[in-house]
Amino acid sequence: MELRHLRSFAVLAEERHFGRAAERLHLAQPALSQQIKQLERELGVTLFSRTTRRVELTEAGGRFVGHARDVLADVDRARDDMTSLASGHAGRVSIGFVGTATYDVLPRVAREVRRELPDVALELHGELLSPQLVAGLADRTYDLVLLRPGEPGLDARTLRSERLVAVLPAHHPLAGRRRIGLARLKDEPFVIHPSGRRSSMHAQVLAACAAAGFEPSSLLEVSETATLVVFVAAGLGVALVPEPVRSLGLEGVAYVALTDAPTIDLALAARADASPAARQVAAIVERCV
């Protein structure tokens, strides 16, 4: 059963006139008549009763018209869906976010994608470390990742630079200051992201302390940024975090700007074979940062 025969049948069922139906279909009238006869032979029924003035649906034709319209509607929906998929306006996109981007970038991206690309299904994964994100990009867990640049062999586009700020317990003597020099924290225990290749923040914080002329007396390593801030609120130490972490809004801590604050970059990386939908979402991410 050919789709063109179904379309010809559906139009003739609406027009009840071979001439008008042929004109709508951009067919010669004999060609339309031949298609209807072929369809009737294939189905083994007569679909139309023909007179010199009018064409009427038979009982079989009346029953078949619903089937034909359903099939044609399904085909149209499938075509529209594939067109949307090819243009990036439909599909599924998985995005991984480094911890700090989870708090300010993730909500904005989710809102904008929902507004601009309502047929794109987002899978959002937050509070991850850069090495996890690189691995997830490689094994196709994620289509896009927001992470700290500098991973070997990774092609990433820098989106912004973020100043580091000090996180102090709310009762700390320096908590009320507008700005402090990092050296003021030289005698404090530090709550810090994991060492080694597990987090690029660990090396960044130690480098900032070294530039300020000291090495922290003790380190408490924590994987998640939100947990790190909670530990500071509990009085277990002080910390350095990128400024967007302020948006967490946790009680019991104070964020204090640093004199000559060091910065850390946030970057976007995509799979080499990113889908059209992933490329559309990547463009939205760049606008949101």
The predicted pLDDT at position 195 comes to 85
The predicted pLDDT at position 100 comes to 82
Give tens-digit pLDDT for 221-260.
998 899 999 999 999 999 999 999 998 878 999 999 999 9
| Options 3.40.190.10, 3.40.50.970, 1.10.10.10, 3.30.70.20; CATH of 91-158+266-288 | 3.40.190.10
**CATH 1.10.10.10 residue ranges for the chain:** 3-87
The predicted pLDDT at position 79 comes to 86
Give tens-digit pLDDT for 128-148.
888 889 999 999 999 999 998
Tokens encoding 47: 């679909």
Q: Locate all alpha helices (DSSP H) within the chain, ordered by sequence.
A: 3-15, 18-25, 29-43, 59-87, 99-116, 130-138, 200-211, 225-233, 276-288
The predicted pLDDT at position 282 comes to 95
**CATH 3.40.190.10 residue ranges for the chain:** 91-158+266-288, 162-263
The predicted pLDDT at position 167 comes to 97
The predicted pLDDT at position 52 comes to 67
C-alpha separations of 192 from 71, 135, 231, 280 in Å = 60, 22, 10, 35
162-263: CATH topology is D-Maltodextrin-Binding Protein; domain 2 (3.40.190)
Average pLDDT in the chain = 91
Give tens-digit pLDDT for 242-251.
999 998 878 9
Tokens encoding 124: 């959002």
3-87: CATH topology is Arc Repressor Mutant, subunit A (1.10.10)
Please tell me the distance from the alpha carbon of residue 277 to that of residue 289, in angstroms, as a whole number: 19
The predicted pLDDT at position 250 comes to 86
The predicted pLDDT at position 53 comes to 73
Q: Residues with Cβ < 8 Å from 256, sequence gap 6 or more?
A: 165, 166, 167, 168, 174, 175, 177, 178, 179, 180
Regions of the chain where pLDDT drops below 70: 52
